[in-house]
Amino acid sequence: MAIRTIREIGDPVLNKISKEVTEVTPRIQDLIDDMFETMYETNGVGLAAPQVGILKRIVVIDTTGEDPIVLINPRIVETDGEQTGNEGCLSVPGKSGIVTRPNYVKVIAQDENLETFEIEGTELLARAFCHEIDHLDGHLYVEKVEGDLVDVTPMDDDDEEWED
C-alpha cells in the first residue's frame, strides 16, 4: 500500500467524468487499498479516485474510523430530507463552507467482487455519499457552497474540535 498524492482544486482531473469499472484487477485492488491508506493518513472521511488522479468510478468512505465502505460504480437512487452544515474536502485544503445536502441517501453500487448492493445513510454518511459521488462526475463541493469559503485551522492531536 502507498499514500497517494491528493489532487487539489485547479487540477483539471477533478473536473472530468470518471469511467465505469468493468473489472477489479489487482491494480484496481491496489488503488482501493492506497485510497484507504491515503484517506486515513490525511484524516478524511471519504476519498474518490479522481482525487488521486484516477478517473475511475471508485469511492472509499469511513465516517467512524471503524466501518470502511468501498463503492464501485455508485449511483444515488433515493434521497430525502435536508441537512445544512459545514463541509470541507481534501482537494480544497484549508477551506470549508456551508452546504445543503439530503439527510437520507440510498446508493446502489458494486463491491470489490462487482456484486451489486444497496446501502443507505443518514446525516454524515449521507453527506459523504453525495460529496464523493459528486467527485466522480467532476464536481467539487465549492460549487454548492452557500456564501463564502472560510479558512480552517487544522486540528492538533490534542484538540477536540476545530479552532476558530
Ranges assigned E (strand) in the chain: 46-48, 58-61, 69-80, 83-89, 92-101, 104-110, 116-122, 150-151
Question: Annotated catalytic, 132?
Answer: yes
> Which is it for the CA torsion 104, 90, 63, 38, positive or negative?
positive
Q: Does residue 5 lie in a domain region?
A: no
The one-digit pLDDT tens for each residue of the chain (164 residues) are 799 999 999 999 999 999 999 999 999 999 999 999 999 999 999 999 999 999 999 999 999 999 999 999 999 999 999 999 999 999 999 999 999 999 999 999 999 999 999 999 999 999 999 999 999 999 999 999 999 999 987 654 444 443 32
Count structural domains, the chain. Answer: 1
What range does the domain containing 40 cover?
12-151
Q: Report yes or no on 42 lying in a domain.
A: yes
- The model's pTM: 0.91
Of the candidates 132, 143, 161, 163, the residue annotated as catalytic is 132
Work out whether the CA dihedral 78, 52, 15, 155 comes out positive or negative. Answer: positive
CB distance 104 to 120 below 8 Å: yes
Contact by Cβ (8 Å): 140, 51: no
